[in-house]
Amino acid sequence: MRSQYIGALLAVLVCIGSSPIPAAEPAQPAKTAISDEANEAVQRMGKTLAAEDVSVKARTIRVYLDDKGQPLHIFHTMDIVMHRPDRLAVKVTGDQGSDELFYDGKTVTLAGSDKSKYGQMAAPNTIAAMLEEVVGRLGVDFPLADLLAPAPHEAFLSGVTTGSEVDTVTIDGAPYRHLFFTQPPGIELELWVSKNEQSLPARLIVTHRLLPGQPNLIAEFSDWKFGTRHPDSEFVFQPPPGATKVDLKAASAGPAAGGNK
Protein backbone atom coordinates (compact mmCIF):
# COMPACT_ATOMS: atom_id res chain seq x y z
CA MET A 1 0.00 0.00 0.00
CA ARG A 2 1.26 3.48 -0.77
CA SER A 3 1.67 5.80 2.19
CA GLN A 4 -1.21 8.24 2.59
CA TYR A 5 1.04 11.28 2.93
CA ILE A 6 2.19 10.99 -0.67
CA GLY A 7 -1.32 10.33 -1.93
CA ALA A 8 -1.92 13.77 -3.44
CA LEU A 9 1.41 13.87 -5.21
CA LEU A 10 0.93 10.43 -6.71
CA ALA A 11 -2.63 11.31 -7.66
CA VAL A 12 -1.46 14.16 -9.84
CA LEU A 13 1.31 12.02 -11.31
CA VAL A 14 -1.10 9.24 -12.20
CA CYS A 15 -2.94 10.65 -15.17
CA ILE A 16 -5.59 7.91 -15.45
CA GLY A 17 -6.58 7.48 -11.81
CA SER A 18 -5.60 5.21 -8.96
CA SER A 19 -7.59 2.09 -9.88
CA PRO A 20 -5.47 -0.83 -11.16
CA ILE A 21 -5.77 -0.97 -14.96
CA PRO A 22 -4.17 -3.61 -17.19
CA ALA A 23 -1.26 -2.45 -19.29
CA ALA A 24 -2.08 -1.86 -22.93
CA GLU A 25 -0.73 -4.29 -25.51
CA PRO A 26 2.59 -3.20 -27.07
CA ALA A 27 2.02 -1.20 -30.23
CA GLN A 28 3.24 -2.62 -33.52
CA PRO A 29 5.68 -0.47 -35.49
CA ALA A 30 3.73 1.96 -37.66
CA LYS A 31 4.52 4.54 -40.27
CA THR A 32 4.35 8.11 -39.07
CA ALA A 33 2.28 10.81 -40.71
CA ILE A 34 3.12 14.06 -38.94
CA SER A 35 2.60 17.25 -40.91
CA ASP A 36 5.48 19.67 -41.42
CA GLU A 37 3.62 22.38 -39.49
CA ALA A 38 3.00 20.16 -36.45
CA ASN A 39 6.52 18.75 -36.48
CA GLU A 40 8.10 22.21 -36.77
CA ALA A 41 6.01 23.54 -33.86
CA VAL A 42 7.05 20.64 -31.60
CA GLN A 43 10.71 20.98 -32.64
CA ARG A 44 10.64 24.66 -31.66
CA MET A 45 8.93 23.80 -28.38
CA GLY A 46 11.62 21.24 -27.63
CA LYS A 47 14.41 23.74 -28.30
CA THR A 48 12.80 26.26 -25.93
CA LEU A 49 12.05 23.81 -23.12
CA ALA A 50 15.54 22.26 -23.27
CA ALA A 51 16.95 25.30 -21.43
CA GLU A 52 19.14 24.60 -18.42
CA ASP A 53 16.92 26.47 -15.95
CA VAL A 54 13.15 26.25 -16.30
CA SER A 55 10.18 26.96 -14.04
CA VAL A 56 6.45 26.71 -14.78
CA LYS A 57 3.04 26.47 -13.14
CA ALA A 58 0.70 23.72 -14.34
CA ARG A 59 -2.98 23.52 -13.45
CA THR A 60 -4.32 20.03 -14.04
CA ILE A 61 -7.69 18.28 -14.15
CA ARG A 62 -7.58 14.50 -13.99
CA VAL A 63 -10.79 12.85 -15.20
CA TYR A 64 -11.51 9.16 -14.59
CA LEU A 65 -14.21 6.70 -13.52
CA ASP A 66 -14.19 5.68 -9.86
CA ASP A 67 -15.07 2.18 -8.64
CA LYS A 68 -18.78 3.11 -8.85
CA GLY A 69 -18.52 4.17 -12.47
CA GLN A 70 -18.86 7.86 -11.62
CA PRO A 71 -16.80 10.31 -13.70
CA LEU A 72 -14.66 12.29 -11.26
CA HIS A 73 -12.70 15.49 -11.93
CA ILE A 74 -9.69 16.00 -9.66
CA PHE A 75 -8.01 19.44 -9.69
CA HIS A 76 -4.39 20.22 -8.77
CA THR A 77 -1.81 22.97 -9.25
CA MET A 78 1.85 22.10 -9.72
CA ASP A 79 4.78 24.52 -9.35
CA ILE A 80 7.82 23.05 -11.08
CA VAL A 81 11.40 24.33 -10.83
CA MET A 82 14.18 22.54 -12.70
CA HIS A 83 17.92 22.87 -13.25
CA ARG A 84 19.21 20.43 -15.83
CA PRO A 85 20.52 17.86 -15.60
CA ASP A 86 20.11 17.04 -11.92
CA ARG A 87 17.81 19.31 -9.90
CA LEU A 88 13.99 19.25 -9.65
CA ALA A 89 11.42 20.56 -7.18
CA VAL A 90 7.66 20.05 -7.55
CA LYS A 91 5.02 21.49 -5.22
CA VAL A 92 1.48 20.19 -5.57
CA THR A 93 -1.72 21.62 -4.09
CA GLY A 94 -5.24 20.55 -4.85
CA ASP A 95 -8.29 18.44 -4.13
CA GLN A 96 -6.31 15.60 -2.57
CA GLY A 97 -4.02 17.68 -0.41
CA SER A 98 -0.58 19.24 -0.77
CA ASP A 99 2.71 17.47 -1.34
CA GLU A 100 6.24 18.16 -2.54
CA LEU A 101 8.99 16.38 -4.46
CA PHE A 102 12.65 17.27 -3.99
CA TYR A 103 15.50 15.94 -6.14
CA ASP A 104 19.08 17.08 -5.59
CA GLY A 105 20.94 14.83 -8.02
CA LYS A 106 21.46 12.07 -5.46
CA THR A 107 18.25 11.64 -3.50
CA VAL A 108 14.54 11.99 -4.29
CA THR A 109 12.12 12.86 -1.48
CA LEU A 110 8.32 12.91 -1.38
CA ALA A 111 6.88 14.87 1.52
CA GLY A 112 3.55 16.12 2.79
CA SER A 113 3.03 19.85 3.04
CA ASP A 114 3.70 19.85 6.80
CA LYS A 115 6.83 17.70 6.19
CA SER A 116 6.06 15.63 9.30
CA LYS A 117 6.26 12.47 7.17
CA TYR A 118 8.41 11.90 4.13
CA GLY A 119 9.58 9.13 1.85
CA GLN A 120 13.10 9.06 0.46
CA MET A 121 15.29 6.92 -1.76
CA ALA A 122 18.60 7.11 -3.60
CA ALA A 123 18.18 8.27 -7.18
CA PRO A 124 20.18 8.35 -10.44
CA ASN A 125 22.11 11.51 -11.34
CA THR A 126 19.77 12.93 -14.00
CA ILE A 127 16.17 14.15 -13.88
CA ALA A 128 15.11 11.80 -16.67
CA ALA A 129 16.64 8.74 -15.00
CA MET A 130 15.23 9.76 -11.63
CA LEU A 131 11.69 10.06 -13.00
CA GLU A 132 12.05 6.71 -14.71
CA GLU A 133 13.17 5.20 -11.40
CA VAL A 134 10.26 6.78 -9.49
CA VAL A 135 7.77 5.65 -12.12
CA GLY A 136 9.19 2.13 -12.04
CA ARG A 137 9.46 1.92 -8.26
CA LEU A 138 6.04 3.32 -7.43
CA GLY A 139 4.10 2.15 -10.47
CA VAL A 140 2.90 5.60 -11.50
CA ASP A 141 2.71 7.46 -14.78
CA PHE A 142 3.89 11.08 -15.01
CA PRO A 143 2.39 12.49 -18.23
CA LEU A 144 4.22 15.81 -17.91
CA ALA A 145 7.62 14.12 -17.85
CA ASP A 146 8.01 14.58 -21.61
CA LEU A 147 8.33 18.34 -21.08
CA LEU A 148 11.15 17.78 -18.56
CA ALA A 149 13.15 15.41 -20.75
CA PRO A 150 16.60 16.43 -22.09
CA ALA A 151 15.06 16.64 -25.58
CA PRO A 152 11.37 17.46 -24.97
CA HIS A 153 10.41 17.29 -28.66
CA GLU A 154 11.80 13.77 -29.02
CA ALA A 155 10.10 12.61 -25.82
CA PHE A 156 6.76 14.11 -26.82
CA LEU A 157 6.82 12.54 -30.30
CA SER A 158 8.01 9.13 -29.09
CA GLY A 159 5.44 6.59 -30.24
CA VAL A 160 3.35 9.22 -32.04
CA THR A 161 2.22 8.09 -35.49
CA THR A 162 0.04 10.98 -36.71
CA GLY A 163 0.02 14.69 -36.07
CA SER A 164 -1.44 17.81 -37.64
CA GLU A 165 -2.36 21.41 -36.97
CA VAL A 166 -6.08 21.82 -36.31
CA ASP A 167 -6.32 25.60 -36.30
CA THR A 168 -4.98 28.83 -34.86
CA VAL A 169 -6.77 30.00 -31.71
CA THR A 170 -6.45 33.02 -29.43
CA ILE A 171 -5.40 32.53 -25.81
CA ASP A 172 -5.11 35.63 -23.62
CA GLY A 173 -4.95 37.81 -26.72
CA ALA A 174 -2.12 35.90 -28.44
CA PRO A 175 -2.21 33.36 -31.32
CA TYR A 176 -1.60 29.68 -30.52
CA ARG A 177 -1.38 26.61 -32.73
CA HIS A 178 -3.86 23.85 -31.81
CA LEU A 179 -2.15 20.54 -32.61
CA PHE A 180 -3.54 16.98 -32.54
CA PHE A 181 -1.52 13.75 -32.33
CA THR A 182 -2.23 10.04 -31.96
CA GLN A 183 -0.11 7.40 -30.26
CA PRO A 184 -1.17 3.75 -30.60
CA PRO A 185 -2.79 2.04 -28.94
CA GLY A 186 -5.60 4.47 -28.24
CA ILE A 187 -3.83 7.58 -26.91
CA GLU A 188 -4.75 11.03 -28.24
CA LEU A 189 -2.76 14.18 -27.54
CA GLU A 190 -3.92 17.75 -28.00
CA LEU A 191 -1.29 20.45 -27.62
CA TRP A 192 -1.57 24.23 -27.85
CA VAL A 193 1.71 26.11 -28.43
CA SER A 194 2.40 29.79 -29.03
CA LYS A 195 2.59 30.75 -32.70
CA ASN A 196 6.11 32.16 -32.55
CA GLU A 197 9.72 31.04 -32.38
CA GLN A 198 9.43 29.89 -28.74
CA SER A 199 6.40 27.65 -29.34
CA LEU A 200 5.61 27.63 -25.61
CA PRO A 201 2.98 25.09 -24.46
CA ALA A 202 -0.20 26.61 -23.05
CA ARG A 203 -2.43 23.54 -22.88
CA LEU A 204 -2.12 19.75 -23.07
CA ILE A 205 -4.84 17.10 -23.08
CA VAL A 206 -3.99 13.39 -22.93
CA THR A 207 -6.91 11.01 -23.58
CA HIS A 208 -6.86 7.20 -23.26
CA ARG A 209 -9.60 6.06 -25.65
CA LEU A 210 -9.30 2.33 -24.95
CA LEU A 211 -9.51 2.49 -21.16
CA PRO A 212 -12.78 2.40 -19.18
CA GLY A 213 -14.46 5.80 -19.23
CA GLN A 214 -11.79 7.18 -21.61
CA PRO A 215 -9.88 8.92 -18.77
CA ASN A 216 -7.84 11.98 -19.53
CA LEU A 217 -5.56 14.62 -18.14
CA ILE A 218 -6.06 18.31 -18.90
CA ALA A 219 -3.15 20.67 -18.15
CA GLU A 220 -2.83 24.44 -18.51
CA PHE A 221 0.63 26.00 -18.29
CA SER A 222 1.55 29.51 -17.22
CA ASP A 223 4.43 31.55 -15.79
CA TRP A 224 7.10 29.95 -17.94
CA LYS A 225 10.51 31.30 -16.90
CA PHE A 226 13.94 30.49 -18.30
CA GLY A 227 17.49 31.29 -17.26
CA THR A 228 16.90 31.88 -13.54
CA ARG A 229 19.22 29.67 -11.49
CA HIS A 230 17.58 28.70 -8.21
CA PRO A 231 19.80 27.93 -5.20
CA ASP A 232 20.68 24.28 -4.60
CA SER A 233 18.96 24.49 -1.21
CA GLU A 234 15.61 24.71 -3.03
CA PHE A 235 16.07 21.13 -4.28
CA VAL A 236 17.19 19.61 -0.97
CA PHE A 237 14.68 18.35 1.58
CA GLN A 238 15.32 19.44 5.15
CA PRO A 239 13.14 17.38 7.53
CA PRO A 240 11.89 19.30 10.56
CA PRO A 241 12.60 17.98 14.07
CA GLY A 242 10.55 14.89 14.79
CA ALA A 243 9.70 14.14 11.17
CA THR A 244 9.09 10.47 10.35
CA LYS A 245 10.85 8.83 7.41
CA VAL A 246 8.95 6.14 5.48
CA ASP A 247 10.57 3.87 2.91
CA LEU A 248 9.33 4.21 -0.65
CA LYS A 249 8.35 0.67 -1.57
CA ALA A 250 7.53 -0.78 -4.95
CA ALA A 251 3.86 -0.79 -5.89
CA SER A 252 2.22 -4.16 -5.25
CA ALA A 253 -0.65 -3.55 -7.67
CA GLY A 254 -0.49 -4.00 -11.41
CA PRO A 255 1.51 -1.68 -13.64
CA ALA A 256 0.31 1.73 -14.66
CA ALA A 257 -1.52 2.04 -17.92
CA GLY A 258 0.57 1.68 -21.04
CA GLY A 259 1.86 4.55 -23.14
CA ASN A 260 4.60 7.02 -22.39
CA LYS A 261 2.24 9.96 -22.06
HSE-up of residue 26 (Cα within 13 Å, Cβ side): 2
How do the pLDDT tens digits run along the chain, 261 residues long?
233 334 444 444 433 333 333 344 444 555 679 999 999 999 999 999 999 999 999 999 999 898 899 999 999 999 999 999 999 999 999 998 888 999 999 999 999 877 888 999 899 999 999 988 887 777 656 668 899 999 999 999 999 999 999 999 999 999 999 999 999 999 999 999 999 999 999 999 999 999 989 999 999 999 999 999 999 999 999 999 999 998 776 544 333 333 445
- Prediction pTM value: 0.84
Domains and CATH numbers, the chain: 4-20+31-247 (2.50.20.10)
Burial of 134 (0-12, 13-18, 19+ CB in 10 A): buried
pLDDT value of position 29: 53
What is the per-residue DSSP string for 193-257?
Answer: EESSSS--EEEEEEEETTSTT--EEEEEEEEEEES----GGGGS--PPTTPEEEE-PPP-SPPPP
